[in-house]
């Protein structure tokens, strides 16, 4: 019996060993910071959003990773999942208050990322070029 596709339980991030004050926020940061989380949190912070809306608005995300990201955020209490029993099914995701506290900070990071994209791309090219042609 292998762990199912939707089993997002995570021994590594189970936050054991509370007495050693382990579970440094590296774990928490990692969760927030995983490739798609920021965009999902920002998207759901304003209003309830449907699965397909997210899939369309987040460039490059796969169905699978979107599902996993949503499950993990839900597990961590950052997202609420609401199912409306109708045909066709309708599922909405909303950021919890806890997650909404993050909004401004994450938005600031996202803005920074957007502003600095060109700079970073240039820095990378520069770094790589120097590495190939060391200044001897």
Partner DNA sequence: CGGCATCCCCCAGGATACTG
Partner DNA sequence: CAGTATCCTGGGGGATGCCG
Per CB under 8 A, 110 contacts a second copy: yes
3-state secondary structure of 87: coil
Per CB under 7 A, 4 contacts DNA: yes
The residues facing 81 across adjacent strands are 93
Binding residue for a second copy, selected from 35, 55, 56, 62, defined by CB under 8 A? 35
Binding residue for a second copy, selected from 17, 24, 64, 87, defined by CB under 8 A? 24
Q: Which helix (H) or strand (E) holds 112?
A: helix 103-132
φ/ψ of 65, rounded to 5, equals -70, -35
Per CB under 7 A, 51 contacts DNA: yes
Per CB under 7 A, 60 contacts DNA: yes
Maximum separation of any 2 CA atoms in the chain, in Å: 69
Count the helices and strands in the chain (H runs, E runs). 6, 3
Find which of DNA, a second copy, none residue 80 binds, CB within 5 to 8 Å per kind. Answer: none
Q: Give the C-alpha separation, 44 to 59, whole Å.
A: 16
Q: Which helix (H) or strand (E) holds 93?
A: strand 90-95
Our CB check for DNA shows the closer of 84 and 114 to be 84
Site residues (vs a second copy, CB under 8 A): 7, 9-10, 13-15, 22-26, 28-36, 38-39, 59-61, 74-77, 98, 101-102, 104-106, 108-110, 112-114, 116-117, 119-124, 126-128, 131
């Amino acid at each position: 019996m292998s762990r199912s596709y939707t089993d997002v339980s995570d021994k590594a991030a189970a936050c054991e060993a509370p007495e050693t004050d382990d579970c440094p926020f590296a774990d928490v940061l990692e969760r927030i910071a995983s490739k798609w989380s920021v965009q999902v949190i920002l998207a759901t912070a304003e209003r309830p959003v449907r699965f397909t809306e997210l899939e369309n608005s987040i460039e490059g995300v796969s169905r699978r990773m979107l599902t996993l990201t949503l499950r993990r955020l839900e597990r961590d209490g950052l997202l609420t999942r609401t199912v409306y029993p109708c045909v066709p099914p309708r599922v909405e995701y909303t950021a919890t208050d806890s997650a909404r506290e993050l909004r401004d900070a994450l938005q600031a990071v996202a803005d920074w990322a957007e502003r600095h994209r060109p700079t970073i791309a240039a820095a990378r090219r520069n770094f790589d070029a120097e590495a190939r042609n060391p200044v001897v």
